[in-house]
Structures are given as C-alpha cells and as structure tokens.
Structure 1
C-alpha cells in the first residue's frame, strides 16, 4: 500500500525535473539564436591618424560579429593585427608584430597607442 502512495509523488517530481530541463534547453537555444543574429553596433570601416612619438594613419575594420582588424600605416611600414571589442573598447589581448596597440574605444573614436616605450594618441572617423 505504501508504494501506491509514493508513486504519484515520484511521478510528480520526475515531471517537475523534466519541465525544468526543458526550460533550460529552450533558454540555451534562445541565447544561441541571439548570438548568431548579433550585429556589432560598431561594424564598419574607420580611418584616422595616430600622433605622438610616431605619426601615421590607421584603418580599423569591424566585422558584423565585432572582430577587429587594425592597420597601422607609417612612411616606411604597414602592419595589421586582429583583436576584438569588449563593449566599445579594444581588447588588449593582441598586438601588432611590432608591439603597436591601440587603447581606447570606438564610442569616442579616440584613445592612446603604445609601442614599447613610444606613446601617443589616435582618433578616427567612421566612413
């Protein structure tokens, strides 16, 4: 007789667990769809200059997903590196082969740059 009293409670508990699992799966599917449909508000091409201890031009290309290619153009050199955005700020995880890195963000379209002991400022406009 005790087994008959426990069975409905066990079935109810199992049903609640299944529902919670389904909710989690549905939430995960929704998050994945949002990531796939994400388009960076900063996507596009930007051009400008960097000044300070060195001077030159910079070109910034932001993809739909927020990956960033930064190209530094100097009189005798040109180099590029890939990075990303954290909100509107550049990630500092990557640098150009020379050590050149932009610090700042695309909301203000300005910031500072560093390359070893050399430093300065930069600004761009969106094309």
Structure 2
C-alpha cells in the first residue's frame, strides 16, 4: 500500500507537472505565431502637418507591419526630430502617447488621421493622410 502511494507521489506528480509545462509552451508558440502574422491595418507612410502655438511643420509617420511607428517632425523653426513610438492595441489606430526626446507628444488616431500635440507649454493640432 505504501509503495503504491510513493509511486503516485514520485511518478505521477512529475508527469502532471510536465504536461502542464507542455501545454504552456504550446500556448506561447501559438501566441508568437499570431504576433508574427499580425499586419497592422495602419501600416504604411502617413504624411501631413502640425500647427499651433509658435510652431508648425510637416509630420511623416511610418507605421510598420507590427504597429510600431517612426515619427519624423520637421518644424518651421528648423528643428528636425525623429523618434519611435507605437499604436495602442490593434483596432482603433490610437497613438501611444510616448514623448520624443525633445518632449513632443502626439495624441489622436490614425483612424481619423488627426489629433493634438503638446510640446512643453505649447500645443496644437495635427492631421495626416496615408500615401
């Protein structure tokens, strides 16, 4: 009887744990495949303008397959800046409000192709269209 309990404890328990690990690995593989196959509906080059308090200029947004985004800002005050951010989620094209190294932040959505921006105490609006 005691041998039977030891068998269950030392043989069956590791097998149960192993099957749980295999299931988790399989789930991770499926999740990774889904991420690799994802194509953002906003992928491509978007060009437009921004304007507002004391500055205005051109915006170029290069959206990758995964939804990561290169933002190129060329201001009328001869300040050029390139930084990287991403879209939030997959559905509505909302921008991730991550600031550039100089503090420029875009808010809004590529679904509407517009939004607002902020740079320290300055602010304004922006709009872009897919090229």
TM-score bracket for the superposition, by shorter chain length? 0.7 to 0.9
Q: Which residue of 1 aligns with 2:127?
A: 123
Identify unmatched segments of 5+ residues in structure 1.
none
Q: Deviations over 1:81-127 (max 9, x none)?
A: 21122122222333152x22211121221110111211111111111
Task: Report how many aligned residue pairs link the two structures.
Answer: 125
Q: Which residue of 2 aligns with 1:38?
A: 38
Identify unmatched segments of 5+ residues in structure 2.
none
Is 1:28 the counterpart of 2:28 in the alignment? yes
Please say if residues 98 and 105 of structure 2, whose CA atoms lie closer than 8 Å, have aligned partners that are also in contact.
no
Q: Deviations over 1:43-94 (max 9, x none)?
A: 1110111122232221111111222111122334222221122122222333
Q: TM-score, normalization: structure 1?
A: 0.83
How do 1:70-109 residues align onto structure 2 when only pairs under 5 Å count?
70-77=71-78, 78-87=80-89, 88-97=93-102, 99-109=103-113
Deviating runs (4+, > 4 A) in structure 1? none
Q: TM-score, normalization: structure 2?
A: 0.81
Give the C-alpha shift of residue 6 in structure 1. Answer: 1.7
Q: Please provide the CA RMSD for this pair.
A: 2.0
